[in-house]
Chain A
Amino acid sequence: MSSLALALADGAVVAKRNLIKIKRVPEVLIWTTMSPIMFVLLFSYVFGASIAVEGVNYREFLMAGIFAQTMIFGSTFTGAGLAEDMTKGIIDRFRSLPISKSAVLIGRTGSDIVYNLISVVVMSLTGLVVGWRIRTSIVDAIAGFLLLLLFSYAVSWIMAFVGLKVTSVEVVNNASFMFIMPLTFVSNAFVPSENLPGPLRTFAEWNPISSLALAVRELFGNTGGVPAADVWSLQNPLAYSLICIFGILAVFIPLAIRQYGKTAARG
């Protein structure tokens, strides 16, 4: 077996273990999926009443943004889970076994896809209840969901690196909150970026969250025909999103694997 196949097989064993843990402590999953429901309802009914986006129903505009935000929040799970594992004896067990060095990370990021998939399903159902609809083909819809999951997978590796670096669940959760809130709010996730003042607008236009939200909006047919801002990232949101995704993966997979070796050897 090649070393990649071996790493994937070992990763699958770790992923299975993580999924069993979700099953054993379902409260965690329930609370994680509650927050996107809350966001959908809050934005739809509190802000939705005051925010008008030209050419499209705000609730439809909003959904792609909340999808994007939830995908990023979901990735903090990866960091928190790894940080927790690193403080437990189980990591010594893993390290004393002849598994691939990247197996723990492949397993963790892999099992978190399942987490995010569940979040997406719950959110979609909530969206349908408040009036969100997919107005394109099934192929486009699937492409939209895949893009969301792929993006969250990439961000998982950033959070894996962070979680291994700080090895404290609390710090991971608090620190990532401080990054994720501005990152998602200074974007076109909840409001059109055209309305933002100068520097914030530029930031929002090149913020990957914007291109992700816009790409998903286009794939779900929720743009209402409003033309995108005249910057490359938003004229080609799908391409820009994919560039960001693979860029993140190319940088953070090796970084996280190296950090795993360092952190584990510290003990």
Chain B
Amino acid sequence: MLMSDMIRTSGLVKRYGPVTALNGLDLRVPQGKVLGLLGPNGAGKTTAVRILSTLLEPDEGEVMVAGLDVRANPQEVKKRIGLSGQSAAIDDQLTGFENLDMVGRMYHLGRKGSRARARRLLEEFSLTEAADRPSKTYSGGMRRRLDLAAALVAEPAVIFLDEPTTGLDPRSRSQMWETIQRLVSEGATVLLTTQYMEEADRLADEIVVIDKGEKIAQGTATELKYQIGGERIGVVLEDRDDLATAQTILMKFAVDDVQVDEQARQLTAGVAGGAEDLRQVLQLFSDSSIKLADVGLHRPTLDDVFLSLTGHSTEEEDEAASSGPKDGKKDGKQNKKEASR
């Protein structure tokens, strides 16, 4: 293993009875980078995070975190990692301060050290005002922030975030993204799981898409979008006579064939350049005096990714997940389903 790899797994296998949650997963995250683990419910994302964070023993495979073998040395690994799960792992009855103070004591930071660290984190996460209120009175966004703060008490070198923004409102989500970006800029290595393309796109240096416990795609956001077919420009023309010209223009940007529906006067093309491509296409249309009835840029959704990579949608995965051994047990899972609709 390279010194700079903070997370590495090879041939990771985990079975729950007859269900294979992970089937030979290989991951690699260099120091200071963010890996986005993308996949639908039941794909094995949480299982992978639980194994990496010492909560679960794999059946097969090698797991290295911060240069240490997780199976041989879990206690040492625990000192170097922070985990923030999808069901906020904080105590409802305890105040924000008490939660963080307790975690500090458990990292053996001492009485004074734990208190000081708790106060500083509450400040950093804008929770100072709510510090002495039981955390059950917190909003969803505040609970996630507290949970993330708890993960950061020991200033871990490696941070695992299991669906950090699932169930959050848009404002809390973008706050969470800013926080994660700040952590990375300070040198942390992050593995985050998500069901949102946008989130992976925004935060991850590299994305691994998994389905049914296997890696089905890997690359940067741009590479992946290209692989999936990327964003699609869809236009509807006013005049059927423009179809050929419009097709020629779109072909300059399309990553594969331009689909033409003569009846509907509609053309669709997958592009790699997103909005910038759209702008140029519209410019060229305008130069050629092509009139448009409708135009749109469609981002690939997770459903598109799965349709294109596996031939089945995330919907079917949801069904499988709810009958799986562990899914649906935690309330976080329930939130996730609502959020993904």
Stretch at the interface among B29-37, B105-113, B214-222, B293-301: B105-113
Q: Which residue of B lies closest to A6 (CB)?
A: B108
Complex Cα distance, B77 from A96, in Å, reads 9
Q: Would you call A89 an interface residue if the criterion is a C-beta within 8 Å of the partner chain's C-beta atoms?
A: yes
Q: Would you call A267 an interface residue if the criterion is a C-beta within 8 Å of the partner chain's C-beta atoms?
A: yes
Given the complex, which residues of A lie within 8 Å of B81, measured CB to CB? 96
Given the complex, which residues of A lie within 8 Å of B98, measured CB to CB? 17, 20
Checking B89, B106, B326 against A10 with a beta-carbon cut-off of 8 angstroms, the contacting residue is: B106
Q: Does B93 contact A94, Cβ atoms closer than 8 Å?
A: no
Complex Cα distance, B85 from A267, in Å, reads 13
Q: Does B91 contact A96, Cβ atoms closer than 8 Å?
A: no
Q: Which residue of A lies closest to B134 (CB)?
A: A24
Q: Does A17 contact B102, Cβ atoms closer than 8 Å?
A: yes
Q: Does B108 contact A93, Cβ atoms closer than 8 Å?
A: no
Complex Cα distance, B98 from A20, in Å, reads 9
> Closest Cβ of chain A: how far from B307's Cβ, in Å?
32
Stretch at the interface among B49-57, B179-187, B261-269: B49-57
Q: Would you call A13 an interface residue if the criterion is a C-beta within 8 Å of the partner chain's C-beta atoms?
A: yes
Given the complex, which residues of A lie within 8 Å of B94, measured CB to CB? 17, 20-21, 24
Q: Does A25 contact B93, Cβ atoms closer than 8 Å?
A: yes
CB proximity to B under 8 Å, residues A1-18? 10, 13, 16-17
Q: Would you call B150 an interface residue if the criterion is a C-beta within 8 Å of the partner chain's C-beta atoms?
A: yes
Q: Would you call A227 an interface residue if the criterion is a C-beta within 8 Å of the partner chain's C-beta atoms?
A: no
Given the complex, which residues of B lie within 8 Å of A92, measured CB to CB? 55, 83, 85, 87, 89
Interface of B is mostly: loop
Complex Cα distance, B76 from A10, in Å, reads 16
Complex Cα distance, B94 from A96, in Å, reads 19
Q: Does B93 contact A96, Cβ atoms closer than 8 Å?
A: no
Residues 102-132 of B, flagged 1 when their CB comes within 8 A of A and 0 if not, give 1101111000000000000000000000000
Q: Which residue of B lies closest to A99 (CB)?
A: B106
With contact pairs A90-B91, A96-B81 given, residues A13 and B106 touching in the complex (Cβ less than 8 Å) = yes
Residues 132-159 of A, flagged 1 when their CB comes within 8 A of B and 0 if not, give 0000000000000000000000000000
Interface size on A, residues (CB 8 A): 24
Complex Cα distance, B155 from A267, in Å, reads 26
Q: Does A94 contact B106, Cβ atoms closer than 8 Å?
A: yes
Given the complex, which residues of B lie within 8 Å of A129, measured CB to CB? none
Q: Does B83 contact A21, Cβ atoms closer than 8 Å?
A: no
With contact pairs A13-B102, A25-B93 given, residues A98 and B78 touching in the complex (Cβ less than 8 Å) = yes
CB proximity to A under 8 Å, residues B70-97? 75-76, 78-79, 81, 83, 85, 87-91, 93-94
With contact pairs A24-B134, A95-B55, A98-B79 given, residues A90 and B103 touching in the complex (Cβ less than 8 Å) = no
Q: Would you call A97 an interface residue if the criterion is a C-beta within 8 Å of the partner chain's C-beta atoms?
A: yes
| Besides A89-B85, A92-B55, 9 new A-B residue pairs in contact (Cβ under 8 A), listed by A number | A17-B94, A24-B93, A93-B103, A95-B54, A96-B55, A96-B83, A98-B75, A98-B76, A98-B108
The 14 listed contacts between A and B (C-beta, < 8 Å) are A16-B102, A17-B91, A92-B85, A92-B87, A93-B83, A93-B103, A93-B150, A96-B53, A96-B83, A96-B89, A97-B103, A97-B107, A98-B78, A266-B326
Chain A residues in the interface with B (C-beta under 8 A): 10, 13, 16-17, 20-21, 24-25, 89-99, 103, 264-267
